Amino acid sequence: MTYFGDDQETIRGKPWDWKNFESTKDYPVSNNLLEWVIGQERALDECYLCLNEWVHKLKNLKEENWYEAWKDPNKEKPQITKSAPPGPYLLLLGDPGTGKSLIGRALSVHLTELYKKEEIHLQDAICWQNDVIPSEPKISCHEAGAGKKILLKQKLKEEKKLFLQRLGVKAIIYIMIIVASIFMFAGFYYLWQEKVAWDVNALNVLGETLQDSYSGNFSGYMLDQFVSIGTITFLPAGMMLMFLILVTVLGRFGVLGAAKGVGGAKASKVPKLVVDNSKKVAPFIDATGHGSAQLFGSIAWDPLQTGGLGTPEHQRVSAGDVHRAHLGVLYIDEIKNMAPDEAITLLTVLEDGQLPITMRSRLSGAGGTAAMAVSTEPVPCMCFLVGAGNFDSIGQVHPALMDRIYGYGKVVRMNNDMQNTVENRRKYVQFIAQEVSRFRLLHFSREACEEIVDEGRRRSNKNNSLSTKFRPMISLVKTAATLAMNEGLELVERRHVKDAIEKHCKTIQKQILEHQMSERGELLEISPEGAKLGQIYGVAVVKDAYSGEMTGNVLAVKGFLEKRGKRSDNSLHGYYKVTGVAKEGQEQFIADSVAKVRSVILQKYGVDIAQDFFTHIDFAQAYRVDGPSAGVTMTILLCSLIEGKPVRQDVAVTGEINVSVNDVIPVTAVGGLHEKIKAAEMWGFKKVIVPAKNYKHSIDPRDYTIEVVPGETLEDYLKESLVDTEKIVNKKSR
């Protein structure tokens, strides 16, 4: 059978030949996000169970006409706790990159399909002005899409009213302008008549001429006439004009109906659409890292509100994530990081299915203002909670919240790997095709797909498994495609994937570790040639304490063994020293190995290296070596010294030594095998001996250019690493 099988398969209505396909081109990629989830069948099964329970609850609410009770903002709202039980909820726990957020998004898509099938309608939420108690805005809910229609109807109604108001105001303004103009014209006309009377030297009421009465002072005459005429003409006209100017200025600054409030919103009695589901798609709200105001809604603060000049209360209401996720999915990653007070409020949401919107932000700067007194009616927020986190979240989620999830929902473990079967290797091809489609990349050749699958196997650290941590694999796919694109190729080849793995897609922790090892490597005395007595090379790993990333390292281990009494009298006691290892007060896993080595040598040779010999083992140029994998290295070194057989210097070893049972000294499995073998390969060793359990469980010799040999017992290790001096002598004598 070939790597991906020999049969043909119909995928989404299109035939696909797994035996002969050459690239991912034309692979039928699904539009259903649930089909993008790979290797998490159990998690998906639990999700489907929860969704079926969820839809069953909503169908019961529909039969009880619960939705109808929310349509009138002036009616009392029903209590959800009397209509439907809480739950279900879902908590996904697993390592990053295993598809938790993808499942959350996919569930909202699946919910949309279920709602259409069961004729369950999403809802829009509208906030109305409360004419009796303005600080308690009213709430109504309507079928998705109806909210905008209601809002449009109310806007048209208000615009009609405002239009008539503006029309009346403009009519009054025009009439006042006309009247003021008439008064102004009359005033100028009367002044002109007085000028004519002066010119003709007319008689005044006393019978004297005007010029004689004012002694020829025309200015004084006209000033008196202006005062008398202005009081009945210019003064009324001026007052009218000043009033018109005042109206214009106040209107420009919004005091007379065009006020701009919070966010530029117009001060209006028109209701506000706070939750809009007009797209009729079950909402998916990612509330990861959001604070109280974002999660549970808030009331915006308006500095003019206390003077009655600001935006009305209902226009300053902003719905929270829980309200916008009503009848949809509320996704909270790293749920363990929720503050205690936020977790308690979330409990209210989960239990009651409704929550008033009030001012919740502590950082708004509005403490002590009238904004704190505004609180809406309860707003529906029946959301399907999908929480996520790593395995350390188990003990860090708020106890009361965790109790609700256990009681009314499910906690699901995400898989880190899946079986290395033909079916799952095909799913890796599906994964590659999905990412190629999503990021518009070059298509991958069959060989490139095989290399991606092999990398998934290596990352699972099991021969019969494939990693389901796909997010880090996305970087490999994108980088390999970019390398091929830079060469002007049409397909991504295997070599591009290998370059991405070995050169471009390492974590920063691994880059730092490898840099440190390469810097130290220039000073290390490692020469994998010939055979030496008293020196052996072991392979170990250096681990980043925070991320868990590892890189391999080669250790030169040297030994000194001399029988007691050879140079001194028998009064001197023997000793057993191991240097270059973790010191007292640190984690000393290697301390057990040091003790076991002494017992193993006693069992094999009948001598005590701590009393019968002066024994010193030194991990040369090492720094606080720790871990059980150094046990077989020390044992082989001592066997070499006791038997007088040199150790092959082109062979590196690793494994945990164990006390003999039935005269068999077993070597058991250790961790970090891949990194250890790559380190030996980099230093030019010809062979590396590893525990047989490791070899069977996680080693594929095709991954390495170095020979990897399994060893089940100490004798297996000695056979591969020690040089038989008798055979060498016999060979020379011939």
Residues labelled catalytic: 629, 676
Is there a contact between 324 and 275 (Cβ–Cβ < 8 Å)? yes
Give the number of other Cβ atoms within 10 Å of residue 163's Cβ: 10
Give CA–CA dist 237/187, Å, rounded: 10
Q: Which helix (H) or strand (E) holds 482?
A: helix 470-486
Residue among 413, 486, 507, 489 at smallest CA distance from 448: 489
Which residues touch 425 (CB under 8 Å, ≥6 apart)? 3, 4, 453, 466
CA distance 471 to 191: 91
Q: Which residue has the tokens 């191991």?
A: 578
Rg (CA), the chain: 43
User: What's the number of CA atoms in the CB half-sphere (13 Å) around residue 594?
Assistant: 22
Rounded to the nearest 10 degrees, the angle between the axes of helix 218-230 and helix 234-252 is 60
- Give me 387's structure tokens: 């929480």
SS3 state of residue 307 = helix
- Residue 505 in contact with residue 451, Cβ under 8 Å? no
Which residues on neighbouring strands pair with residue 427, listed in sequence order?
A: none
Tokens 């303005």: give the residue.
134
Distance CA 384, CA 393 (A): 20
Cα separation, 663 vs 665, in Å, equals 7
One-letter amino acid of 354: Q
Task: Give the contacts of 370 (CB within 8 A, at least 6 positions apart).
Answer: 135, 305, 306
561 forms beta bridges with: 615
661 vs 47: CA distance, rounded Å: 49
Count the helices and strands in the chain (H runs, E runs).
21, 29
- Read off the tokens for 216: 């020829």
Contacts of 219-228 with CB under 8 Å at 24 or more apart are 221/194, 222/191, 222/194, 222/195, 222/198, 225/190, 225/191, 225/194, 226/191
**Alpha-carbon distances, residue 440 vs 102, 435, 491, 682, 692 (angstroms):** 19, 8, 13, 36, 44
Token readout for 639 is 């066997």
Structure tokens at 235: 């003064």
- Segment (H or E) for 426: helix 422-439
Conformational region of residue 88, where left means phi above 0, alpha means psi within -120 to 50, and beta covers everything else: beta
List the one residue out of 297, 317, 316, 298 whose CA is nearest residue 383. Answer: 297
Reduced to 3 states (helix: H, G, I; strand: E, B; else coil), residue 223 is helix
> Which residues, other chains included, contact 141 with Cβ-Cβ below 8 Å and sequence gap of 6+?
67, 70, 71, 123, 124, 125, 126, 380
